[in-house]
Amino acid sequence: MLSSDLEIGFFLALLLVGIFYTHSSSIKFFNILYRIFPLMLICYILPAIFSSLNIIDASNSQLTEIAKTHFMPSCLFLLILSTDFFALTLVGRKLLGMYVLGAVSICIGGPLSLWFGAVFFPDELLWQGDNAAWKGMSTLMANWLGGTANQLAIKEIHHVGDAVFAVMMAINVLFSGLWMVILLFIAERQDKIDDLLKADKSFRPIFCHDLKPKVMPKLTRYYWILILMSVFLMVMFLTNNLSSFLAKTIADHFPALFKYNLTSDFFWSVLIATFLGLLFSLTNARHVLVNETRHLALFFIYIMIMLMGLNFDISALSAAPYYVCIGFVWFFIHIIILFIFTVFFRLPIMYLAIASQCNIGGAASAPVVASAFHPRLASAAVLMAVWGYTWASLLAWYVGFLMQSIQP
The residue extents of the domains of the chain are 66-212+298-404
3-state secondary structure of 406: coil
Candidates 352, 355, 356; CA nearest to 344 is: 352
3-state secondary structure of 2: strand
- How many residues appear in the chain? 408
3-state secondary structure of 56: strand
Q: In 25-161, which ranges are continuous DSSP H helix? A: 28-36, 39-52, 63-66, 72-81, 93-120, 133-145, 148-157
- The model's pTM: 0.79
Q: CA neighbours within 13 Å on the CB side: how many for 206?
A: 22
Per-residue pLDDT of the chain (408 residues; tens, 9 = 90+): 788 888 888 999 899 999 989 988 888 888 888 887 778 778 888 888 888 888 888 878 888 778 777 777 887 787 777 776 666 666 678 888 999 999 999 999 999 999 999 999 888 888 888 889 999 999 999 999 988 888 988 998 888 988 888 889 888 888 887 898 889 888 888 889 989 988 887 765 544 444 455 555 555 666 666 776 777 777 777 777 888 888 889 888 888 777 667 777 878 888 888 888 888 777 776 666 666 677 777 788 888 888 877 876 665 566 678 899 999 999 999 999 999 999 999 998 999 999 999 999 877 778 778 878 877 777 678 778 878 888 888 899 999 999 999 887
Residues 6+ apart with CB under 8 A from 92: 206, 208, 380
pLDDT at 329: 95
* 8 Å CB contact between 133 and 405: no
User: What would the pLDDT profile of 132-168 be if each residue is shown by its tens digit?
Assistant: 999 999 999 999 998 888 898 899 888 898 888 888 9
How many other C-beta atoms are found inside a 10 Å radius of the C-beta of residue 408? 12
Which residues share a beta bridge with 2? 56
Burial class of 308 by CB neighbour count within 10 A (0 to 12, 13 to 18, 19+): buried
pLDDT at 208: 46
pLDDT at 45: 82
User: What would the pLDDT profile of 35-76 be if each residue is shown by its tens digit?
Assistant: 877 787 788 888 888 888 888 888 788 887 787 777 778 877
pLDDT at 204: 58
DSSP state of 319: G
